[in-house]
Amino acid sequence: MMNLRFLRVRNPLVRECMAEFLGTFVLLLFGCAAAAQVKTSRETKGQFLSVNMAFSVGVMSAMYLTKGITGAHLNPAVTLSFCVLGQVPWGRLLPYSLSQLLGAYMASGLVFLVYYEAIMDFSGGVLTVYGPNETASIFATYPAEYMSLGGTFLDQVVGTGMLMLCILCLNEKRNTPAPTELIPAIVAVIVLGISVSMSGNCGAAINPARDLGPRLLTLTAGWGTEVFTCYNYWFWVPLVAPLIGGVLGSFMYTIFIHMHLPDPDDLENHSTISTISDKCKQEDTTWEHGFEIKSAHL
Amino acid sequence: MMNLRFLRVRNPLVRECMAEFLGTFVLLLFGCAAAAQVKTSRETKGQFLSVNMAFSVGVMSAMYLTKGITGAHLNPAVTLSFCVLGQVPWGRLLPYSLSQLLGAYMASGLVFLVYYEAIMDFSGGVLTVYGPNETASIFATYPAEYMSLGGTFLDQVVGTGMLMLCILCLNEKRNTPAPTELIPAIVAVIVLGISVSMSGNCGAAINPARDLGPRLLTLTAGWGTEVFTCYNYWFWVPLVAPLIGGVLGSFMYTIFIHMHLPDPDDLENHSTISTISDKCKQEDTTWEHGFEIKSAHL
Amino acid sequence: MMNLRFLRVRNPLVRECMAEFLGTFVLLLFGCAAAAQVKTSRETKGQFLSVNMAFSVGVMSAMYLTKGITGAHLNPAVTLSFCVLGQVPWGRLLPYSLSQLLGAYMASGLVFLVYYEAIMDFSGGVLTVYGPNETASIFATYPAEYMSLGGTFLDQVVGTGMLMLCILCLNEKRNTPAPTELIPAIVAVIVLGISVSMSGNCGAAINPARDLGPRLLTLTAGWGTEVFTCYNYWFWVPLVAPLIGGVLGSFMYTIFIHMHLPDPDDLENHSTISTISDKCKQEDTTWEHGFEIKSAHL
Amino acid sequence: MMNLRFLRVRNPLVRECMAEFLGTFVLLLFGCAAAAQVKTSRETKGQFLSVNMAFSVGVMSAMYLTKGITGAHLNPAVTLSFCVLGQVPWGRLLPYSLSQLLGAYMASGLVFLVYYEAIMDFSGGVLTVYGPNETASIFATYPAEYMSLGGTFLDQVVGTGMLMLCILCLNEKRNTPAPTELIPAIVAVIVLGISVSMSGNCGAAINPARDLGPRLLTLTAGWGTEVFTCYNYWFWVPLVAPLIGGVLGSFMYTIFIHMHLPDPDDLENHSTISTISDKCKQEDTTWEHGFEIKSAHL
């Protein structure tokens, strides 16, 4: 019986790389297309917030597509953080990262195709990195004029740190987890929050693949080597700083929150040990009574 | 005993067509009314984003109204994709599509009635397709001046492909499904994302009924045949391209994600076969332990 | 033992009226305060969309506060619709409506107090209904200059009809219900959608209490009788039209959707009767298989 | 065996203070960074609404991080209200408040570092409280020119009262609670609503720590004592008024809603006592029948 099953990939790593590829593809397709729409329409068909929202929706959709397969990293900085935390084998780091990069490149290419005429109309046919008609920023991120190297590096470290700090707690059963089936939506909201608060200095890449993929596309599609040489070879900052920031954010979460949560052994085997977390929950359930009683003394 | 039940329609197909009619009616009522509000108020009572949001809310409401009855396609491109995927019988394609078209036409008519005075005030009483006082774009979509036929065709293929790619995974129990009762809200967010990222070139119809219904209304309500002849008979692009795009997006989902998910048989009968998806979930549940252990080696 | 319980109201109707009062109070407090903020800051601290969002959040908060007590009508048009549908006793209509009106009046009064200095600064101390420095529209709704009486009446009928049509399905177990605990949030999104699409003509009151309460406040607070006499005594339109629209929307829902849903008796006692809704669900669960099989024939 | 566990803090109060510190840190990091981005980009990279959204996302993230540990107060006015309600021991008030203040201060410091170059570029290097190039409002709140002391005091009382009134009901099992795992998201929406409706007069601090922490940062980072002395030593208003407003809002919730909910004892032990809340639920479940029957009489 003829069957499409012969196409099924048996190698788990290949399947996971396909998922990371597709997820990052979707993320960048939403995000860069929105940037192209806002830029080429001169903000008549959307504004800065539209681009933030598109990246946010892209994260959500990409996570629903791939979270069951790889955990939906979509970002080498996230993969690295999970490797450091011991949640993902180190052998996954390079293949995942390359898949993410390829997905970002391909999505940028498709956005370039779809918005080719709009970009040509907007830029007068001259693809540049500087000036009022620049279109390079549709794809990769570039720093504001006044930023120093150190400033943008710190910016990317803090932005990626916020990302890891805020998403690591969402799945923690001993704290207040988000609903498992809505984690993609919650992460999307967090990414929206980072976009509206940490993109002022250099565009909040917080993701090496999200930045390098589109930058390579612009290199090959006509913007020239300036996309790498501009701002004194600034391009390496969104590649390196997010990796450091992601790990720092993960440590911050560990030191302030995760380390102090009750042991799962204690919770399961020694339920007589009352942790503060348990106590809080008890107070919650007795609050109808407690409140009534306390009110009596007002 | 007198009873309204005699009105109840016994034919399932008629009931489903009524649902698709009503759903598309609600979708277009929200969307076109918002476009009318933004246009006729000269963006003082909303902006481009308002229209995106209204279509998004329209999708959500239409899905809650009809998802239990037909699956809430609201779009011939979606019905066609489901037919190709084998989820919906081919015999439903034409009746559903006509019902959607009729719903879109009727909603446009009601929007025209409600915003009649506003449209007349805005346009000076002359209903045109071109120029600063054009009002045809309240209803159907039109391409930007600089777009070629091929460019808009690609745009509609990609936009509708994104739609199918992103919604097909939401119901997949072997991956990370969205909560069943919130799928209308999640789809609404995806539609919002497509609206802010893929409407720059030609308005993101991605739905033949959503475009043809209002275009027929403008034809019959005073805009004349120009709504069909303008831009070199461009009107067929949002009719044909979404059908192709929807099917391509469905194939992309199948090839990259769906095909590699574990067989339901394997999951149920041979639980000893550990898929990568299972392994991921196991890692999740052991992460409190695993993390503690890994941390010890830092 | 001294106890605050002596304050507890034993009469269910009084308790319910207190809930409707408080809910409408919260709804209007959010909404009118946002209108005051946007107007008096000359759109530097928010825009038209902010007001839409504030009314939306107000609906959500008011529903969480009161839904368990009265069902959170917050609107005489909603109460009337539920009376007509047989869900709420007719004896509740007048007490609920008066409570809603009083809540709207009190909230408007508090907004007037909080934004008193801002309103005085903006208007130069002259409280008017017309002109660039008018402030009456912070509170009640007024039609656009070009609107006729019939046009605004239709507008209010359609807007309120959309509201009822979209919310009646959310709780229907035989269709695709929204999660019970998130219905306030879903309704808030629907109200947001109506605000961005149906407020162009006359402000989308779609609620007699929301309009009359603030209008009475402006009458008593210094705007004078013009708030009632202006636009040829237009004030009665948002009082009467929503009542008709709500009932029409409820009938539309009944005729197109509710009437054709399977009998609850059939579902419980005669599970062998396979409705179309059941069949859809069955198809859903077999889709992993079905799809695999269909794919083989591609 | 070497282990990071030796770092684990055994004292519950210290752990809770660490959580409140981190939560308020995250809240302010999002919020003040967005304010810096909007201000220093002269509204080209976001608008007033962006700042509202960032505070909203900050609340959500901070709550997911800390709600299981302390309940996620993030605000001395919230802690005080819970103490008055008898939900939190009075001994927690001072330590929590100081932790929140420290978190707000540290976050402001990090925002100052990250946006240092942007602030210097925007302000020309002169850090001031007044004038078109003022940058103090990125951090603490300041009243509008036309506001009196009493007006801002009332504003802060009402804003914080709305906050407590709207969040206290979310966890009430005898009313219509929000889904426990989504309470952080619902509270975030409420905070967004307050931001778009109650920030016109003096910036909607509604949180002594959120205001004093950044104000201390500006004092120590170069803005000088004017941040405290300006507007006739206005700084004490957002410290004192929210404390009063929070308690008043809690009382309002108690008197209008909480006090009249059925006793939990009654619900559990005497299920024959039919409360109004129960009756509502019964009506809900019988509505499919009830409606059919009533319809017959139309």
Counting residues of chain A whose pLDDT is more than 90, the rounded percentage is 80
Using pLDDT thresholds of 50, 70 and 90, give the confidence band for residue A8. Answer: confident
Separation CA A263–CA D27 (nearest Å) = 28
Give the number of B-D residue pairs with CB atoms closer than 8 Å.
17
Residues of chain B in contact with residue C193, where contact means CB-CB under 8 angstroms, are 30, 53-54, 56-58, 60-61
* CB contact residues (below 8 A), chain A span 206-245, against chain B: none
**What pLDDT score does B287 carry?**
37
Are C87 and D255 in contact (CB < 8 Å)?
no
**What pLDDT score does B294 carry?**
35
| pLDDT tens-digit readout, A223-251 | 999 999 999 999 999 999 999 999 999 99
Separation CA D271–CA C72 (nearest Å) = 24
Are C148 and B117 in contact (CB < 8 Å)?
yes
Are C5 and A292 in contact (CB < 8 Å)?
yes
- pLDDT of residue D7 exceeding 80, the answer is no
| pLDDT tens-digit readout, A244-263 | 999 999 999 999 899 888 86
**What pLDDT score does B272 carry?**
37
Indicate the residue of D18, D116, D263 with minimum beta-carbon distance to A256: D18
* CB contact residues (below 8 A), chain D span 278-297, against chain B: 292, 295-296
- pLDDT of residue C229 exceeding 70, the answer is yes
Residues D220-225, mean pLDDT to the nearest whole number: 96
DSSP string, D12-52: HHHHHHHHHHHHHHHHHHHHHHHHHHHHHTTTSS--HHHHH
| Residue among D254, D249, D176, D285 nearest C72 (CA) | D176
Using pLDDT thresholds of 50, 70 and 90, give the confidence band for residue A207. Answer: very high
Separation CA C87–CA C171 (nearest Å) = 13
**What pLDDT score does A123 carry?**
96
Indicate the residue of D7, D68, D117 with minimum beta-carbon distance to A146: D117
Give the three-state DSSP class for A219. Answer: helix
Are C174 and B68 in contact (CB < 8 Å)?
yes
Fill in the amino acid letter for A124.
G
- In eight-state DSSP terms, residue A181 is G
Separation CA D224–CA D232 (nearest Å) = 15
Using pLDDT thresholds of 50, 70 and 90, give the confidence band for residue C29. Answer: very high
- pLDDT of residue A40 exceeding 70, the answer is yes
Whether the CB of D265 is below 8 Å from some CB of chain C: the reply is no
Query: Residue C189 has which token pair?
Result: 């999104």
Rg (CA), chain C: 22
Q: How far is B180 from chain C (nearest CA, A)?
A: 9
Give the three-state DSSP class for C106. Answer: helix
Report residue A140 CA to chain centroid gap: 15
* Residue D259 contacts residue C7 (beta carbons within 8 Å): yes
**What pLDDT score does C261 carry?**
86
* CB contact residues (below 8 A), chain D span 86-125, against chain A: 86-87, 110, 113-118, 120-121
* Residue D257 contacts residue D176 (beta carbons within 8 Å): no
Are A49 and B48 in contact (CB < 8 Å)?
no
Are B3 and D298 in contact (CB < 8 Å)?
no
| pLDDT tens-digit readout, C183-196 | 999 999 999 999 99
Residues of chain A in contact with residue B155, where contact means CB-CB under 8 angstroms, are 114
User: Which of B2, B3, B47 best probes binding to D when mutated, by most D CB atoms within 10 angstroms?
Assistant: B3
Are B184 and C201 in contact (CB < 8 Å)?
no
Residues A92-109, mean pLDDT to the nearest whole number: 98
Separation CA D62–CA D74 (nearest Å) = 8
CA angle in degrees (0–180, nearest 5) for C56-C58-C59: 70
Q: How far is C66 from chain B (nearest CA, A)?
A: 23
Report residue A225 CA to chain centroid gap: 27
Nearest chain A residue to B182 by CA: give it: A182
Q: How far is D261 from chain A (nearest CA, A)?
A: 10
Entry pTM: 0.91
Residues of chain D in contact with residue A259, where contact means CB-CB under 8 angstroms, are 4-5, 7-8
Separation CA D227–CA D26 (nearest Å) = 23
Indicate the residue of C45, C179, C258 with minimum beta-carbon distance to D199: C45
**What pLDDT score does B264 carry?**
62
Nearest chain C residue to D179 by CA: give it: C181
| Residue among D136, D114, D118 nearest D127 (CA) | D136
Give the three-state DSSP class for B109. Answer: helix
**What pLDDT score does D5 carry?**
65
Using pLDDT thresholds of 50, 70 and 90, give the confidence band for residue D38. Answer: very high
* Residue C105 contacts residue C214 (beta carbons within 8 Å): yes
| pLDDT tens-digit readout, C104-153 | 999 999 999 999 999 999 999 999 999 999 999 999 999 999 999 999 99
Residues of chain B in contact with residue D291, where contact means CB-CB under 8 angstroms, are none
Give the three-state DSSP class for A184. Answer: helix
Using pLDDT thresholds of 50, 70 and 90, give the confidence band for residue B8. Answer: confident
**What pLDDT score does C293 carry?**
30
Counting residues of chain D whose pLDDT is more than 70, the rounded percentage is 86
**What pLDDT score does C4 carry?**
62
**What pLDDT score does C260 carry?**
86
CA angle in degrees (0–180, nearest 5) for D148-D152-D153: 110
Residues A138-160, mean pLDDT to the nearest whole number: 97
Separation CA C115–CA C121 (nearest Å) = 10
Counting residues of chain A whose pLDDT is more than 70, the rounded percentage is 86
More confident residue, A289 or C30: C30
| pLDDT tens-digit readout, B149-189 | 999 999 999 999 999 999 999 999 999 999 999 999 999 99
Residues of chain A in contact with residue D83, where contact means CB-CB under 8 angstroms, are none
* Residue C220 contacts residue B81 (beta carbons within 8 Å): no
Using pLDDT thresholds of 50, 70 and 90, give the confidence band for residue C100. Answer: very high
| Residue among C78, C72, C92 nearest C247 (CA) | C78
Q: Tokens 């990370």 sit at which residue?
A: B176
**What pLDDT score does C265 carry?**
57
Are B155 and A16 in contact (CB < 8 Å)?
no
* Residue C113 contacts residue C32 (beta carbons within 8 Å): no
Residues B261-282, mean pLDDT to the nearest whole number: 48
Using pLDDT thresholds of 50, 70 and 90, give the confidence band for residue B297. Answer: very low
- pLDDT of residue C84 exceeding 60, the answer is yes
Residues of chain D in contact with residue A254, where contact means CB-CB under 8 angstroms, are 4
Average pLDDT, chain C: 88
Residues A56-70, mean pLDDT to the nearest whole number: 96
Counting residues of chain C whose pLDDT is more than 90, the rounded percentage is 80
| Residue among C252, C250, C136, C248 nearest C203 (CA) | C136
**Burial group, residue B150, by CB count within 10 angstroms (0-12, 13-18, 19+):** exposed
Report residue D181 CA to chain centroid gap: 18
Are D175 and C67 in contact (CB < 8 Å)?
yes
Residues of chain A in contact with residue B175, where contact means CB-CB under 8 angstroms, are 64-65, 67-69
Report residue D144 CA to chain centroid gap: 21
Q: Which chains touch C (3 or more CB pairs under 8 A)?
A: A, B, D
| pLDDT tens-digit readout, A277-297 | 334 343 443 333 333 333 333
Residues of chain C in contact with residue A298, where contact means CB-CB under 8 angstroms, are 4
* CB contact residues (below 8 A), chain B span 173-212, against chain A: 174-179, 182, 186, 189-190, 192-194, 196-201
- pLDDT of residue C16 exceeding 70, the answer is yes
| pLDDT tens-digit readout, B79-119 | 999 999 999 999 999 999 999 999 999 999 999 999 999 99
Q: Crossing angle of helices B237-256/A12-40, nearest 10°?
A: 150
Helix (H) or strand (E) holding C109: helix C93-114
Separation CA A115–CA A44 (nearest Å) = 16
Using pLDDT thresholds of 50, 70 and 90, give the confidence band for residue D10. Answer: confident
Separation CA B251–CA B234 (nearest Å) = 27
Separation CA B213–CA B216 (nearest Å) = 5
Q: Tokens 């991956």 sit at which residue?
A: B175
* Residue C267 contacts residue D288 (beta carbons within 8 Å): no
- In eight-state DSSP terms, residue B217 is H
More confident residue, A8 or C96: C96
Q: How far is B46 from chain D (nearest CA, A)?
A: 14
Separation CA C188–CA B291 (nearest Å) = 40
Using pLDDT thresholds of 50, 70 and 90, give the confidence band for residue B215. Answer: very high
Residues A17-37, mean pLDDT to the nearest whole number: 97
Separation CA B198–CA B207 (nearest Å) = 13
Q: Which residues touch D230 (CB under 8 Å, ≥6 apart)? A: D129, D130, D142
**What pLDDT score does A264 carry?**
62
Separation CA D170–CA D182 (nearest Å) = 10
Residues D260-287, mean pLDDT to the nearest whole number: 47
Are B158 and A21 in contact (CB < 8 Å)?
no
Q: Which residues touch A269 (CB under 8 Å, ≥6 apart)? A: none
* CB contact residues (below 8 A), chain C span 30-89, against chain B: 47-49
Fill in the amino acid letter for A141.
T
* Residue B57 contacts residue C190 (beta carbons within 8 Å): yes
* Residue C149 contacts residue C234 (beta carbons within 8 Å): yes
Whether the CB of C20 is below 8 Å from some CB of chain D: the reply is no
User: Maximum Cα–Cα distance for chain C, whole Å?
Assistant: 79
Fill in the amino acid letter for C33.
A
